[in-house]
Amino acid sequence: MTSDKHILVALVNDRPGVLNRVASMLRRRGFNIDSIAVGHTEKEGISRMTIVVGGDASTIEQARKQLDKVIDVIKLYDITDESVVDRELALIKVKATPATRSEIIQIVDIFRANIVDVAADSLIVEVTGDEDKLSSLLKLLSAFGIKEIARTGRLAMTRGTPPA
Protein backbone atom coordinates (compact mmCIF):
# COMPACT_ATOMS: atom_id res chain seq x y z
CA MET A 1 0.00 0.00 0.00
CA THR A 2 1.65 3.24 -1.12
CA SER A 3 -0.78 5.77 0.35
CA ASP A 4 -0.55 7.36 3.77
CA LYS A 5 -3.46 5.21 4.99
CA HIS A 6 -2.45 2.36 7.27
CA ILE A 7 -4.54 -0.63 8.31
CA LEU A 8 -4.19 -1.58 11.96
CA VAL A 9 -5.91 -4.63 13.41
CA ALA A 10 -6.37 -4.82 17.16
CA LEU A 11 -7.60 -7.86 19.02
CA VAL A 12 -9.27 -6.52 22.16
CA ASN A 13 -11.18 -7.76 25.16
CA ASP A 14 -14.91 -7.63 24.43
CA ARG A 15 -15.89 -5.26 27.23
CA PRO A 16 -17.95 -2.09 27.44
CA GLY A 17 -15.94 1.06 26.77
CA VAL A 18 -13.03 -0.49 24.85
CA LEU A 19 -13.98 1.14 21.53
CA ASN A 20 -14.35 4.48 23.31
CA ARG A 21 -10.93 4.15 24.97
CA VAL A 22 -9.22 3.28 21.67
CA ALA A 23 -10.95 6.05 19.70
CA SER A 24 -10.39 8.61 22.47
CA MET A 25 -6.69 7.77 22.70
CA LEU A 26 -6.26 8.27 18.95
CA ARG A 27 -8.34 11.47 19.00
CA ARG A 28 -6.43 12.98 21.94
CA ARG A 29 -3.15 12.47 20.14
CA GLY A 30 -4.45 13.99 16.91
CA PHE A 31 -4.48 10.87 14.75
CA ASN A 32 -6.85 10.94 11.79
CA ILE A 33 -9.14 7.89 11.85
CA ASP A 34 -10.50 7.20 8.36
CA SER A 35 -12.62 4.28 9.57
CA ILE A 36 -12.98 1.93 12.46
CA ALA A 37 -14.98 -1.30 12.38
CA VAL A 38 -15.48 -3.66 15.31
CA GLY A 39 -16.99 -7.12 15.62
CA HIS A 40 -16.81 -10.37 17.53
CA THR A 41 -14.16 -12.93 16.58
CA GLU A 42 -14.17 -16.72 16.56
CA LYS A 43 -12.93 -16.60 20.19
CA GLU A 44 -15.39 -15.92 22.99
CA GLY A 45 -14.73 -12.58 24.72
CA ILE A 46 -12.42 -11.22 21.97
CA SER A 47 -13.36 -8.55 19.43
CA ARG A 48 -11.47 -7.44 16.35
CA MET A 49 -11.03 -3.78 15.47
CA THR A 50 -9.97 -2.80 11.98
CA ILE A 51 -8.71 0.77 12.13
CA VAL A 52 -7.69 2.76 9.07
CA VAL A 53 -5.45 5.63 10.17
CA GLY A 54 -3.85 8.37 8.10
CA GLY A 55 -0.26 9.44 8.58
CA ASP A 56 3.37 8.78 7.71
CA ALA A 57 5.39 5.84 9.07
CA SER A 58 6.60 7.64 12.21
CA THR A 59 3.09 8.87 13.03
CA ILE A 60 1.71 5.36 12.65
CA GLU A 61 4.49 3.95 14.82
CA GLN A 62 3.46 6.44 17.55
CA ALA A 63 -0.18 5.34 17.16
CA ARG A 64 0.88 1.71 17.52
CA LYS A 65 2.88 2.43 20.67
CA GLN A 66 -0.05 4.30 22.19
CA LEU A 67 -2.54 1.56 21.26
CA ASP A 68 -0.27 -1.06 22.82
CA LYS A 69 -0.65 0.81 26.13
CA VAL A 70 -4.44 0.48 26.15
CA ILE A 71 -5.12 -2.22 28.74
CA ASP A 72 -7.78 -4.10 26.78
CA VAL A 73 -5.67 -4.34 23.60
CA ILE A 74 -4.43 -7.93 23.49
CA LYS A 75 -2.56 -7.88 20.17
CA LEU A 76 -1.96 -5.20 17.54
CA TYR A 77 -0.95 -5.70 13.91
CA ASP A 78 -0.10 -3.25 11.16
CA ILE A 79 -1.18 -5.11 8.03
CA THR A 80 -0.65 -2.21 5.64
CA ASP A 81 2.18 -3.87 3.72
CA GLU A 82 0.70 -7.39 3.89
CA SER A 83 -1.29 -9.14 1.19
CA VAL A 84 -4.84 -8.50 2.38
CA VAL A 85 -8.44 -8.99 1.43
CA ASP A 86 -10.35 -5.84 2.29
CA ARG A 87 -13.99 -5.00 1.87
CA GLU A 88 -16.49 -2.37 2.77
CA LEU A 89 -20.28 -2.63 2.91
CA ALA A 90 -22.65 0.18 1.96
CA LEU A 91 -26.39 0.62 1.96
CA ILE A 92 -27.43 3.32 -0.50
CA LYS A 93 -30.96 4.72 -0.69
CA VAL A 94 -31.38 6.14 -4.18
CA LYS A 95 -34.32 8.05 -5.65
CA ALA A 96 -36.19 5.94 -8.18
CA THR A 97 -39.13 6.70 -10.41
CA PRO A 98 -40.88 4.21 -12.66
CA ALA A 99 -38.88 5.74 -15.55
CA THR A 100 -35.47 5.35 -13.88
CA ARG A 101 -35.97 2.09 -11.99
CA SER A 102 -34.81 -0.25 -14.79
CA GLU A 103 -31.67 1.82 -15.45
CA ILE A 104 -30.77 1.75 -11.74
CA ILE A 105 -31.32 -2.03 -11.67
CA GLN A 106 -28.94 -2.46 -14.63
CA ILE A 107 -26.23 -0.42 -12.89
CA VAL A 108 -26.72 -2.39 -9.67
CA ASP A 109 -26.38 -5.68 -11.59
CA ILE A 110 -23.14 -4.55 -13.27
CA PHE A 111 -21.63 -3.93 -9.82
CA ARG A 112 -22.91 -7.27 -8.49
CA ALA A 113 -24.84 -5.38 -5.84
CA ASN A 114 -28.31 -6.22 -4.53
CA ILE A 115 -31.54 -4.31 -4.18
CA VAL A 116 -32.71 -5.05 -0.65
CA ASP A 117 -35.73 -2.72 -0.43
CA VAL A 118 -38.15 -1.20 -2.90
CA ALA A 119 -40.41 1.75 -2.09
CA ALA A 120 -42.59 3.91 -4.31
CA ASP A 121 -39.94 6.61 -4.67
CA SER A 122 -36.66 4.85 -3.79
CA LEU A 123 -34.55 1.70 -3.78
CA ILE A 124 -32.04 0.56 -1.18
CA VAL A 125 -28.93 -0.96 -2.72
CA GLU A 126 -26.52 -3.19 -0.79
CA VAL A 127 -22.98 -3.32 -2.17
CA THR A 128 -19.81 -4.98 -0.91
CA GLY A 129 -16.34 -4.36 -2.29
CA ASP A 130 -13.25 -2.25 -2.09
CA GLU A 131 -13.37 1.51 -1.68
CA ASP A 132 -12.98 2.14 -5.43
CA LYS A 133 -15.95 -0.09 -6.29
CA LEU A 134 -18.19 1.65 -3.77
CA SER A 135 -17.07 5.09 -4.93
CA SER A 136 -17.71 4.21 -8.59
CA LEU A 137 -21.20 2.94 -7.84
CA LEU A 138 -21.98 5.99 -5.72
CA LYS A 139 -20.84 8.27 -8.54
CA LEU A 140 -23.17 6.56 -11.02
CA LEU A 141 -26.13 6.45 -8.64
CA SER A 142 -25.69 10.10 -7.66
CA ALA A 143 -27.10 11.06 -11.07
CA PHE A 144 -30.47 9.69 -9.84
CA GLY A 145 -30.22 11.34 -6.42
CA ILE A 146 -28.83 9.76 -3.28
CA LYS A 147 -31.20 10.06 -0.33
CA GLU A 148 -29.07 8.33 2.29
CA ILE A 149 -25.84 6.34 2.67
CA ALA A 150 -24.61 4.03 5.44
CA ARG A 151 -21.07 2.59 5.16
CA THR A 152 -19.26 0.18 7.44
CA GLY A 153 -15.70 1.31 6.97
CA ARG A 154 -13.00 -1.05 5.81
CA LEU A 155 -12.64 -4.59 7.09
CA ALA A 156 -9.36 -6.31 6.27
CA MET A 157 -7.76 -9.70 6.80
CA THR A 158 -4.37 -10.98 5.71
CA ARG A 159 -4.32 -13.72 3.11
CA GLY A 160 -3.08 -17.14 4.17
CA THR A 161 -1.57 -17.54 7.63
CA PRO A 162 -2.46 -14.72 10.04
CA PRO A 163 0.35 -12.46 11.30
CA ALA A 164 2.28 -13.78 14.28
Task: Encode the chain (164 residues) as per-residue pLDDT tens digits.
Answer: 345 889 999 999 999 999 999 999 888 888 889 999 999 999 999 999 999 998 888 888 888 888 988 889 999 999 998 999 999 999 999 999 999 999 999 999 999 999 999 999 999 999 999 999 999 999 999 999 999 999 998 999 999 876 66
Which pTM value belongs to this model?
Answer: 0.83
Kindly list the structural domains of the chain, giving each domain's residue range(s) and its CATH number in brackets, ordered by start.
Answer: 5-82 (3.30.70.260), 87-156 (3.30.70.1150)
| Dihedral sign of CA atoms 10, 22, 128, 115 in order | positive
